[in-house]
């Protein structure tokens, strides 16, 4: 332990990471640098600075960075170009934030000449894997301290007792047990809820749990049409108004939340081997996913779409399991980004009581939809229907040969 002189801690200012801060000072006898990322979690971050100062952290060793634009531009948007869904449902809201935090922890470690990084992820979850795979990929020699894999403070009561002993400020609600009866993780893409009362997969969460979305039953009785403009697979404008990546997602969260879009209750398979129940709110992401599929259907070749669909589950597992900085993910991303060059145009979606319904799509330069050929009316010779007979017979040839051999 003595070889670690300085460590960068991923710090939120909450109970867990505040206890970790003091524990690092006591157990490792090292200097602590705090790094706090604003990725759109919707919390005031200055209290984290104040608490770090109270715990003896030097002013110049407290870093609070606004990463919202980088998060959406360099992580969320590339993932949505892939139409990534983990196990067919999860839009990877927590997973995609971890490599960004790992990247910035490493950059902070380099800047401050730290020997190690530390995080508050438990030894049971996926986040420990995501943080550490990212860190090792970017700084192979970095050391990682994961207190939850080392200490015996394995309950809320023990954490509070440690906080009391070391005079660590604790939120009154945490002390009285009046906080949320589950764990929450928020960023600009989603909010996740897990643990506590949600550990019973048959327990139905109360309506008051959901924070980003209204209940679909209480959503407006009148649908709302939203137009999204795409350039190379990314949304660049909403209803004709140009917006930055982060503001695109913020506006879609507002619109989707208003109409009850994006709730998910899921039992998923963690990378570490166990099943986990999580509830997620991803209003903006749900709209983005649906609309992106629609503009791709109009502008991409059939086999390109099929290839992307074949690769998507593997890409999603890479993100979920923490391999964002792996050569295989980068290779797939290059292919995916190349496919997005013609993904330009507009999509109209109808938002109504939890639903996202595509009602229109257009692309002046890149649409592969040829109305002259597709029409059921007289096409003026654009398509010779007699050609279909040979096409069908060639595709039936192997079936006919097998049938003659009695293989039916």
Active site residues: 16, 98, 127, 183
CB 292: neighbour CB atoms within 10 A?
23
CB 260: neighbour CB atoms within 10 A?
22
Q: Cβ(351)–Cβ(261) under 8 Å? A: yes
- Rounded-to-integer distance, Cα 49 and Cα 55, Å: 10
- Rounded-to-integer distance, Cα 160 and Cα 211, Å: 27
Closest C-alpha to 186, from 218, 209, 169 = 209
Taking CA 219 as the corner, what is the angle to CA 255 and CA 212, rounded to the nearest 5 degrees? 50
E strand spans, 270-367: 275-281, 345-352, 355-362
Closest C-alpha to 295, from 371, 255, 236, 222 = 236
Radius of gyration of the chain measured on its C-alpha atoms: 25
Region at 88 (left for phi over 0; alpha for psi -120 to 50; beta for the rest)? left
SS3 87: coil
- Rounded-to-integer distance, Cα 374 and Cα 379, Å: 8
Q: At 311, phi and psi to the nearest 5?
A: -85, -20
Count Cβ neighbours within 10 Å for each residue of 321-344 and write b for 16 or more, e otherwise. bbbbbeeebeebbeebeebbebbb
Residue where the block lists tokens 């490493």: 106
At 144, which helix (H) or strand (E)? Answer: strand 143-145
């Amino acid at each position: 332990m003595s070889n670690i002189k300085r460590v960068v801690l991923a710090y939120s200012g909450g109970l867990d990471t505040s206890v970790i801060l003091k524990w690092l000072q006591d157990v490792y006898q090292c200097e602590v640098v705090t790094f706090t990322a604003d990725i759109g979690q919707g919390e005031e971050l200055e209290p984290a600075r104040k608490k770090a100062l109270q715990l003896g952290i030097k002013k110049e060793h407290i870093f609070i960075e606004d990463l919202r634009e980088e998060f959406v531009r360099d992580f969320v948007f590339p993932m949505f170009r892939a139409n990534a869904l983990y196990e067919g449902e999860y839009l990877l809201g927590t997973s995609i934030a971890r490599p960004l935090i790992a990247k910035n922890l490493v950059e902070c470690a380099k800047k401050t000449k730290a020997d190690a990084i530390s995080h508050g992820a438990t030894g049971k979850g996926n986040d420990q894997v995501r943080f550490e795979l990212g860190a090792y990929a970017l700084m192979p020699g970095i050391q990682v301290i994961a207190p939850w894999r080392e200490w015996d403070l394995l309950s809320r009561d023990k954490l509070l007792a440690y906080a009391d002993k070391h005079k660590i400020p604790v939120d009154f609600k945490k002390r009285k047990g009046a906080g949320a009866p589950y764990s929450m993780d928020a960023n600009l893409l989603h909010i996740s809820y897990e643990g506590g009362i949600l550990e019973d997969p048959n327990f139905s969460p109360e309506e008051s749990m959901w924070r980003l979305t209204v209940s679909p039953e209480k959503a407006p009785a009148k649908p709302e049409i939203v137009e999204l403009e795409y350039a190379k697979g990314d949304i660049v404008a909403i209803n004709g108004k140009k917006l930055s990546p982060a503001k695109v997602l913020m506006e879609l969260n507002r619109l989707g939340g208003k109409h009850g879009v994006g709730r998910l209750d899921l039992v998923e398979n963690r990378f570490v081997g166990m099943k986990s129940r999580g509830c997620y709110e991803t209003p903006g992401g749900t709209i983005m996913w649906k609309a992106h599929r629609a503009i791709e259907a109009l502008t991409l070749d059939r086999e390109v779409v099929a290839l992307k669909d074949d690769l998507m589950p593997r890409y999603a597992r890479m993100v979920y399991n923490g391999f964002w900085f792996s050569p295989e993910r980068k290779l797939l991303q290059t292919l995916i980004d190349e496919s997005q060059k013609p993904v330009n145009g507009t999509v109209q979606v109808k938002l109504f009581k939890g639903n996202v319904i595509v009602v229109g799509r257009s692309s002046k330069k890149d649409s592969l939809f040829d109305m002259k050929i597709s029409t059921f009316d007289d096409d003026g010779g654009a398509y010779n229907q007699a050609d279909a007979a040979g096409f069908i017979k060639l595709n039936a040839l192997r079936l006919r040969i097998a049938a003659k051999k009695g293989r039916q």
